[in-house]
Amino acid sequence: MKDKKAREHLSRLRQKIHQSREIWGRHIEKLLHPNPMIIGSLYEVYKTCSKPNCSCREGKKHGPFPALSVSIKGKRSLKMVRKEDQPAVREKAEAYQAFQQGLARVRKLNKEIDSMLEEIKAQYLEEYK
């Protein structure tokens, strides 16, 4: 039988696992029913034009123009967004960011739970002699 200190440690680990599972479950519920998403982040872009005497050549660029910054396979590109689409694109890009953050939290919790279960296993593991 384990000593009192080891039993208390195991009890605390089990409590932490139960708490982590509850938090994990709340995150999973949110991830199971996401809002429509678009990969990327919405930015405002300022540009210069091709007119040789335009003031944009001297610092006052044209804009802002909405653009979606997208990174696919390590390559970043900008996609210009129509002004009338800007609210919907912003909402969907924010939904994507929120989904990614939730997914990161679930992955972190999975690692923490795995680590605690390994600790529990180590307390009960015996070698056959």
Least-confidence region, from 15-24, 50-59, 102-111: 50-59
Structural domain contains residue 116: yes
pTM metric for this prediction: 0.78
Q: Provide the domain limits for residue 42.
A: 4-124
User: What mean pLDDT value characterizes the chain?
Assistant: 92
**How many domains, the chain?**
1
Q: According to the 3-state scheme, what is the secondary structure of the chain?
A: CCCHHHHHHHHHHHHHHHHHHHHHHHHHHHHHCCCCCCCCEEEEEEECCCCCCCHHHHCCCEEEEEEEEEEECCEEEEEECCHHHHHHHHHHHHHHHHHHHHHHHHHHHHHHHHHHHHHHHHHHCCCCC
The pLDDT assigned to 2 comes to 66
In a domain, 67, yes or no: yes
**pLDDT digit string (tens) for 30-47?**
999 999 999 999 989 998
Examine residue 129 and state whether it is found in any structural domain, yes or no: no
